[in-house]
């Protein structure tokens, strides 16, 4: 069973540019959540995708957008990069069964984005 993978590992961009981060979910999982972890902070929820649709969103502006593909992999896109977007971006996949139980989230290793 393959775990959650993310690419790239590190990325450097300049202010105003656009970036795409990628996440491959664990085999059999249908849900992907994205988190932003700024330096010295805890991860903050960006949004979640379930069966290719956005299922919930945190307090992030519209320039943060995402996609989920039929194979349940996902992309996080950030437009008009700002210095404060520098962070570790984590994705987590899970299997939502539609039952009132907790759906365990498995985290990837993260992508470290630096905006200069």
Partner 1 sequence: AQKVTQAQTEISVVEKEDVTLDCVYETRDTTYYLFWYKQPPSGELVFLIRRNSFDEQNEISGRYSWNFQKSTSSFNFTITASQVVDSAVYFCAQSGGTGFQKLVFGTGTRLLVSP
The two tokens of residue 40 are 């010295």
The two tokens of residue 47 are 């949004």
**Residues 25, 26, 28, 34, Cα dihedral to 10°:** -40
In the complex, what is the shortest distance from the CB of residue 23 to partner 1, in angstroms, rounded to a whole number?
14
In the complex, what is the shortest distance from the CB of residue 104 to partner 1, in angstroms, rounded to a whole number?
8
Residues in contact with partner 1, shown as a per-residue x/- string from 24 to 63 under the rule CB under 8 A? ---------x-x----xxxxxx--x------xx-x-----
Distance between CA atoms of residues 32 and 68, nearest Å: 8
Q: Which residues pair with 32 in a beta bridge?
A: 49, 93
Residue 11 sits in the site that holds partner 1 (CB under 8 A)? no
In the complex, what is the shortest distance from the CB of residue 71 to partner 1, in angstroms, rounded to a whole number?
22
Give the helix ranges, DSSP H, for 12-82.
none
Q: How many chain residues are in contact with partner 1, going by CB under 8 A?
A: 26
Distance between CA atoms of residues 87 and 31, nearest Å: 22
Residues that bind partner 1 (CB under 8 A): 33, 35, 40-45, 48, 55-56, 58, 88, 90, 92, 94, 100, 102-105, 107-110, 112
């Amino acid at each position: 069973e393959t775990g959650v993978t993310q690419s790239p590992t590190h990325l450097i961009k300049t202010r105003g540019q656009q970036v795409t981060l990628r996440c491959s979910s664990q085999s059999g999982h249908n849900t992907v959540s994205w988190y932003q972890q700024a330096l010295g902070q805890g991860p903050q929820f960006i949004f979640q995708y379930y069966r290719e649709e956005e299922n919930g969103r945190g307090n992030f502006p519209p320039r943060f957008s995402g996609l989920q593909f039929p194979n349940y992999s996902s992309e996080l896109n950030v437009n008009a990069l700002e210095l404060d977007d520098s962070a570790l971006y984590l994705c987590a996949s899970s299997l939502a069964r539609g039952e009132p139980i907790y759906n365990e989230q498995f985290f990837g290793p993260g992508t470290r984005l630096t905006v200069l």
